[in-house]
Amino acid sequence: TQLLEQSPQFLSIQEGENLTVYCNSSSVFSSLQWYRQEPGEGPVLLVTVVTGGEVKKLKRLTFQFGDARKDSSLHITAAQPGDTGLYLCAGDGGSNYKLTFGKGTLLTVNP
Amino acid sequence: DADVTQTPRNRITKTGKRIMLECSQTKGHDRMYWYRQDPGLGLRLIYYSFDVKDINKGEISDGYSVSRQAQAKFSLSLESAIPNQTALYFCATSDTGTYNEQFFGPGTRLTVL
């Protein structure tokens, strides 16, 4: 069974601060995705990383896939209240077309 | 209009009742999924379907059944609802060959009393 562990589980910061959240596994994934979920809504895909060591940027968000494709990180620069939400990572093991989801990091950015 | 829609958005029911949650999509994707989300447990896969004739159990299928009526429609049924099925339920779709990237509906909040 593939598992993805996300840390921290909860994070509360002030507007303008930087933060990093992590997604770790002992399993190798063919790709890894990050989603953001706001209250009362479904998760929305932010990015997919595929190659070991890959770095992708989405405005103030930087996503990195580990060299061994077992872990990933999400760094947010100068966080804003609009970044508040539940951040989920999900891995595609490649063999059965299902995703394994982490339990998420609940981020609160205070004005 | 939303690409993935779910009805109802909220439902309160009683133990033992049969409940059907419906999902429709206009994305033209072949693959559809049902998840439930519980605090502290994350998203867990109930059933998934890769096409109209293909239905597969997920990690927590007991107490649930599904029907794929068409490429665009995937329904989840609780035959006899029980309180521990109180949760947020999400339908999702994905396209073949896109790293299984998923597009979620807005969710159904189900409460079983």
Q: Between chains, do B99 and A88 touch, taking CB under 8 Å as contact?
A: no
Contacts of A41 in chain B (CB under 8 A): 106-107
Residue B91 pLDDT exceeds 70: yes
| Average pLDDT over every residue of B28-55 | 93
CA B26-B27-B29 angle, 5° bins: 120
| Average pLDDT over every residue of A83-107 | 89
* Residue A3 forms contact with B (CB below 8 Å): no
Q: Which of A20, A98, A46, A74 is nearest to B100 (CA)?
A: A98
Q: Between chains, do B90 and A41 touch, taking CB under 8 Å as contact?
A: no
Is residue B76 helix, strand or coil? strand
pLDDT score at B98: 75
- The band of B1, judged by pLDDT with boundaries at 50, 70 and 90, is low
